[in-house]
Amino acid sequence: MSTFIENQNWRYATKKFNSEKKISDTDFEILKDAIQLSSSSYGLQPYKVLIIENEEIRKQLQPASWGQSQIVDASHLLVFANITNVDEEYINNFAQNVATTRNIPFENVKGYADFMIGKITTLTPEDQAVWTAKQTYLALGNLLNAAAELKIDVTPMEGFDPNQYNEILGLTEKGLHASLVATVGYRHHEDDTQHYIKVRKPKSELFETI
């Protein structure tokens, strides 16, 4: 745990990436594992993570990201896109995956699937969109922590236009909505932000025991 805290003190929201330094395939697979293993409500993982490798598309996304250089300079660009309609088919497919993975009859998980269907499909589209978008933040948290352990920098970004992202990446027709962006790579030695003292609320203000 001492290493975990040390890593959290090391990480920061990188402002300038070293565009010449790329993440190895081995390390990037570990980051993908961390995202895949993230917790989510009901275990449904109601999102997709797009890995944007095409340099031209990244250039198109930069103006939709307030012109931030991380979009084009970071080794990897990830877009977390929440599913806009978690319907009965999606939930039953999830339940079937549970049954197949655990080698049990579908009937054993049908009750759980029906429970989820009753809870989730009755949400308004607006409430469901908020709920699924929240799940992407859990996945982002795992990415941040795993990357810090590997001494890989991640900048989580909400400073972008989701509608423009949806249009450029063709997300709407896929039933997706851009929720979060994460640029991943290695800090540039010229990024002065890495030398700033981390500022957080004191524990006495942050925590309250009741």
With cut-offs at 50, 70 and 90, classify the pLDDT of residue 2: confident
For residues 54-68, average pLDDT: 98
Q: How far is CA 7 from CA 48, 108, 109, 122, in A?
A: 27, 42, 39, 42
| pLDDT tens digits along 130-139 | 999 999 999 9
- In the predicted model, is pLDDT for residue 32 greater than 80? yes
To the nearest whole percent, how much of the chain has pLDDT over 90?
99
The predicted pLDDT at position 30 comes to 98
Structural domains in the chain, CATH included, are 2-82+137-206 (3.40.109.10)
Predicted TM-score (pTM) of this structure = 0.96
Q: Which of 125, 208, 156, 110 is nearest to 15 (CA)?
A: 156
Sorted by sequence, the CB contacts under 8 Å of residue 193 that are 6+ apart come out as 12, 13, 14, 15, 16
